[in-house]
Amino acid sequence: MNKLRIIYNGLVTENPTFVLLLGMCPTLGTTGSAMTGMSMGLATMGVLICSNAAISAIKSVVPDRVRIPAYIVVIATFVTLLQMFMQAYLPSLNESLGIFIPLIVVNCILLGRAEAYASKHSIVDSLLDGVGIGLGFTVALTLLGTIRELLGGGTIFSLRVFPETYGSLVFVLAPGAFIALGFLIAFINYIRKRSC
């Protein structure tokens, strides 16, 4: 029960995108379609789970004053591993996410969770926190990607919902990313207000 709580916390109470407003660059940059949004979310989640677990494991042997550089090395290592394996086995996905894969390193979510959670909790809890926050991020990116793809081109995960001519291209382009996210966050604020 308590373990489920950790995941729920990351997914809803402390949703990185909608509540903490962290990691905005990939949120806007990779959500041109539901597929790329979801892939970016999963990639970030993978790195977050590994880095959270690893940082929790080494927390007692890292002196306080060098903890930030140590965390950065750990995160960057996992990001580079991900980059290499994606280049080898998922080259087209790697190309469509482009520079946002190496930039996972500077995603505030990762360093933030390392500092705020993994450095204070056990390995299992940190791992679950990674799963929860990662899922929260993935759900947010997939949702935004779905909305933009639907409004922009009339498809969801490339499945046609309505003819392309009714789509409004601006949602696939840069301005639509900002506007769609703005309305999405406002909508979630609205739901949260009503439920409490």
Binding residues for another protein, per CB under 8 A?
A: 21-22, 24-26, 28-29, 32-33, 58-66, 68-70, 72-74, 76-77, 79-81, 83-85, 87-89, 91, 95, 99, 102-103, 105-108, 111, 152-153, 167, 169-170, 172-179, 181-183, 185-187, 189-190, 193
By C-beta, is 5 or 192 nearer to another protein?
192
Tokens of 79: 């990001």
Nearest to 7 by CA among 78, 15, 55: 15
By C-beta, is 86 or 139 nearer to another protein?
86
By C-beta, is 12 or 24 nearer to another protein?
24
In the bound complex, what is the minimum distance in angstroms from residue 154's beta carbon to another protein?
A: 11
Counting every residue, how long is the chain? 196
In the bound complex, what is the minimum distance in angstroms from residue 158's beta carbon to another protein?
A: 13
Whether the CB-CB separation of 111 and 72 falls below 8 Å is answered with yes
Helix (H) or strand (E) holding 138: helix 123-153
Tokens of 14: 């402390």
In the bound complex, what is the minimum distance in angstroms from residue 139's beta carbon to another protein?
A: 18
By C-beta, is 4 or 87 nearer to another protein?
87
In the bound complex, what is the minimum distance in angstroms from residue 23's beta carbon to another protein?
A: 8
Q: What is the DSSP string of 7-27?
A: HHIIIIIT-TTTTS---HHHH
By C-beta, is 163 or 175 nearer to another protein?
175
Q: What is the DSSP letter of 157?
A: T
In the bound complex, what is the minimum distance in angstroms from residue 11's beta carbon to another protein?
A: 20
By C-beta, is 4 or 157 nearer to another protein?
157
In the bound complex, what is the minimum distance in angstroms from residue 54's beta carbon to another protein?
A: 10
Single-letter code of the amino acid located at 171:
F
- How far apart CA 49 and CA 68 sit, in angstroms, is 18
Estimate the share of the chain in helix, then strand, then coil, as percent rounded to the nearest 5.
80, 0, 20
